Amino acid sequence: MRKVAVVGAGMTKFMRRAQETGKELAWETAKLALDSCELTVKDVDCVVMGTAPDAFDMVHMKHEYLSDGAGAWRKPYVRGVLGGGTGVFTACQAWYHVASGMFDVCLAVTEEKMSSCLPHPQGAFVTCWDQFTESPLGTSLLWFFAWEMNRYMTSHGITEREIALVSVKNKKNALHHPCAQLPGEITVDDVMKSEIMAWPVKRLDVSPTSDGAAVLVFASEEVAKRITDRPVWVQGVGWCLDTMYIGQRDLYYPKYVEYAARMAYDMAGIKDPRREIDIAEPYDPFSYKELHHGEGLLLCDKGEAVRLLVDGETQKTGRQPWCPSGGALGVGNAIAATGVMKVAELFWQLRGEAGERQVPGRPRRGVAQAWGDEMQVGTVVVLGV
């Protein structure tokens, strides 16, 4: 397969409610990404779209509605959906469109407009579960997270206070992200005192719902070398789905993330991800998820992620920064767009363009990951220079 590079990136400010429609957000961001690498929509050979539940935009088959804003007019166009895992998977999709040799330039567009559902997007999520055994109970997304967090804490003897440090770290990192929705200087006590949603999950353990878009431009080696002297290469991609039934999984460990990571690492020739990866963007829609996913990404032993956190190793200035962007907790969680925001963060960090967020030591390789669907999909991308 051909080498593929990321050559451009753009995103909107994530916010609680944007005036723009989904397709306007997509258009604005696609323009930003194309401008960043001095390409126009005429240079784009195909478009991949990533966006999660249709109900958010009040229209079924919303990829059709979004298509013109995504630059898909008279072009090959496809949407991939893996729930919360969609964003990083959109990057995987863009990779194989170009790696296959069929297209030279692929625009990867992700958009989410979550503010429309009233009173809360939970109303859309409740129709995502098994309609016979789960939805009739009024099953909330929060329950799934709370069960997993509780199981994870109990299995390893981790405390709520330790997990709260993830929110503290990521919201602080987000202070330097120009697109961040909820950056801030908070303390562990702030997290502990925030209202209990579904114990052990508290308000400040949770990322906000957001409106936003994020776009990447993928190019073949030949095009990449022509248009930029700083291409960032896609070194590995991976994705994996576990059983749809929550009762058939042990919630303490995301095995499907491990499988997706192994797929991506094998492709990238990575033998020891703890040493060979400089920065990581594990998906952090809830505080404990950064730790849970860091373990699934094989960046430490099971149950050890909290030790890295407490010891400062995953801080911006630590040995292996996790979520230098500020993550979903700090930047915001416009579901599919958050996955691409994480890949875009690797792109900016690896090019040394992350401004005040720039991690020290010239990082050369990073991994981004997202997770979702019925809480059992892992999607992984490894970028390097």
Binding interface with another protein (CB under 8 A): 12-13, 17-19, 28, 32, 54-55, 58-60, 119-120, 122-123, 126, 131-134, 136-140, 142-143, 146-148, 150-151, 154, 178-179, 195-201, 243, 245-248, 250-251
CB of 127 to another protein, least distance (A): 9
R_g over Cα of the chain: 19
Residues 71 and 46: beta-carbon distance below 8 Å: no
Nearest partner of 338 among 224, 182, 139, judged by Cα: 182
Structure tokens at 12: 């909107």
CB of 150 to another protein, least distance (A): 5
Cβ-based nearer residue to another protein, 28 or 43: 28
State in angstroms the smallest separation of the CB of 224 from another protein: 26
**Which residue's CB is nearer to another protein, number 188 or number 198?**
198
Nearest one of 129, 128, 49 to 81, comparing CA atoms: 49
Cβ closest to another protein, residue 4 vs residue 180:
180
- Which residue's CB is nearer to another protein, number 62 or number 316? 62
Angstrom distance (rounded) from CA 200 to CA 277: 31
Complex with another protein: residue 21 or 358, whichever CB lies closer: 21
Residue 28 CB, nearest approach to another protein (Å): 6
Within 8 A by CB and 6+ apart from 34, the residues are 8, 10, 40, 41, 43, 44, 71, 107, 217
Residue 84 and residue 16: Cα distance in Å, rounded? 18
Report whether 20 contacts 27 (CB < 8 A): no
d(CA 94, CA 85): 15
| Distance (Å, whole) CA 276 – CA 268 | 10
CB of 283 to another protein, least distance (A): 20
Q: How far is the CB of 274 from another protein (least distance, A)?
A: 29
Query: CA-to-CA distance for 286 and 278, rounded, in angstroms?
Result: 23
Q: How far is the CB of 3 from another protein (least distance, A)?
A: 32
For residues 117 and 385, which CB has a smaller minimum distance to another protein in the complex?
Answer: 117
Nearer to another protein, 73 or 245 (CB): 245
Residue 97's SS3 state is helix
Query: Cβ closer to another protein: 33 or 299?
Result: 33
Which 3 state secondary structure label does DSSP give 223?
A: helix
Q: How far is CA 279 from CA 86, 216, 347, 368, in A?
A: 21, 19, 11, 9
* Residue 268: CB minimum distance to another protein, A: 29
Nearer to another protein, 17 or 230 (CB): 17
What is the helix (H) or strand (E) element at residue 218, kind and residue range?
A: strand 211-220
The Cα 91–Cα 25 span in angstroms is 18
Token pair belonging to 320: 């292996």
246 versus 383: smaller Cβ distance to another protein: 246
DSSP state, 116? G
Least Cβ distance, residue 148 to another protein (angstroms) = 7
Nearest alpha-carbon partner for 156 in 307, 282, 323: 307
Shortest reach from residue 346's CB to another protein, in Å: 21
